[in-house]
Structure 1
Amino acid sequence: MDSSDSSALSSNVAGFIDKSTNPKNSYCVDSLPVYVRELIAGGCAGAFAKTAVAPLERIKILFQTRTEGFHSLGVYRSLKKLINHEGIKGLYKGNGASLLRIVPYAALHYMSYEQYRCWLWSNCHFLGTGPVVDLLAGSAAGGTAVLCTYPLDLIRTKLAYQVVDNRQLFRNDINYACSSTTYRGVQDAFKQVYKERGIRALYRGVGPTLIGILPYAGLKFYIYEELKRHVPEEHQNSMVLRLSCGALAGLFGQTFTYPLDVIRRQMQVENLQQRGVRYRNTKEGLAFVVRNQGWRQLFSGLSINYIKVVPSVAIGFTTYDFMKSWLHVPSRPKSQAVSGM
């Protein structure tokens, strides 16, 4: 795309934002506290991005947890097989629980990032206002969001792990009878998991999640904001450039932390698997996987995660920036941005 095309697209986006906010709507929006507008923008960004890649998320979980009949297949064949067994709805199985988690998660993630960043600017002057602040604020925001919404992520994973042959086909070819526990929905899964070990069961696997999310969330915001700093001002509203910055942020951030995501998924579905292995902590889980499944298993599903995460993060950041403009969320003062470079 040349510069003229990019400028035209930027003008179209800016024009759409201007038309979507009449004086009456502006008054209603501006009457909301800034943090509420940030919550709304983050929630919308998370819901839109997660739904767009839900089928790929389902396949990734089946790969990571070594579900029988799926872990040795490619992405296309797995999608086709899943449709044969569960129909189109199977591609979105667990997405309801995922949205229940991602909306508050993304809302808290983006809002707390903005709040932590402002706090660091005001109280830690020695850090400046550059990329270090984005790294620290992003990490803290990721940890906050995880702690508040982790049980919903665990339930989503358990539901996505179950593959039920609704068409009575290939019954012996999939992991249908492996599980002694069958969940009928989000509410039923919550009840059964809570009966297992109480609150501790709802936070099973939170250790590797926190260890992974702190650097991932920090790197994601750091890379995105740093790339945006180098975009000329006349292209700041370009949707293509925002998507590109978000894609690169997701790509690099996910690569460094992916093995911890694999361990988290395996810990989340331990009670649904026949082998009965239980990891006491993240270090033990990493050692067990390398010793018994090979180091390649630590990156199982990484290719599909690239296909999923790159558009997901790109769509999420772009939607968030658009919603911030539409909701009139104050942007970072230019003087601070310049002084931090």
Structure 2
Amino acid sequence: MSRAGKILAIGGLFIASIIGTAIVTNGSKSTTNSTIAGESQVQTLRFSMSSNTQHPIYDGASKFKELVEKNTNLTVDIYPSAQLGDDRAAIEMLQLGTLDVSIPSTAPLANFYPEYNVFDLPFMIPNEAVADKVLRSPFASDMLEMLQSRRLIGLDFWENGFRHLTNSKRTVTNVEDVKGLKVRTMESPLHLDAWKALGATPTPMAFNELFTALQQGTVDGQENPYPNIALNNLYEVQKQMTDTGHVYTPLVLIFSEATWNKLSASDQAAIRKAATEAGDYQREVNRRVNNDSLDTIKANMQVTELTPEARNEFRQATESVVDKYRDVIGSDIIDSFTNEIAKAEKETATQ
């Protein structure tokens, strides 16, 4: 073989070796295709969140920061109150690698992953005990793993909680009372469809615009968990709350894949453990604040509890939404979700 031929042969073997290594590495399910053997290539993690410092989500983020900084050489900087952008903007920044960590609700994620609409289907999860089991199940693990297809790493589900309707117009005791109300919703087509099915006029809007919109009468009402209502003083511009509990909203702790691949294997493991421990802590705080927030709401608003018959009426009115989103979400995912809920209900009923 000529000298040139030998060079080409050696070069070809070298390239094949690189390609082969890349194929083996990228085929790994562990999402560590660029894992650093020694120290991480980043020192500071920027953590963006939409909620303010009074919300239990901030307590969870602070616990996450404490655990990460205790067990790694990394620093975590938290940016509350949407300082770096709302949930949707944060997700886009994570995909671009210009942000490191965020904790959005599932509804904004559904703009990027239609399958995530499953968590916002109305009247699915009945209580917190069932939610805990479902969000730490194999189904939940599969949903987190799905995020890597769009350059995100899903670590854990935290809790926003059950959403309830407030308004400044009238007492809502049944579906008929909802008709004609202008209700602010998250920027989610599914949420819009659910409120249309109930006869309301839904208006998508960023949360940081909500108080002013309620104050000025741009919308009549909104729907959120108790802490969001109380800690943001929405009772100052709303007179009525109905304990609808129509959707249980999880939060998703997500990392930029670009950042994740700059972390050492040991730091990745420490972060995964911190995510779970901080998630458990955040749930505890959220439920304590949930009770305190309901007390604040009752002191400032008229609170109506739906009868079982009225709740069933609400559920029946929104069944068409579940059917509509089967093709969007995937029947297999909806069926897996409902099966996991049924399993959790059975397990919690015997405890």
Query: Same-fold call, TM > 0.5?
Result: no
TM-score (norm 2): 0.26
Question: Whose Rg is larger?
Answer: 2
Question: Which is strand-richer, 1 or 2?
Answer: 2
Question: Which is helix-richer, 1 or 2?
Answer: 1
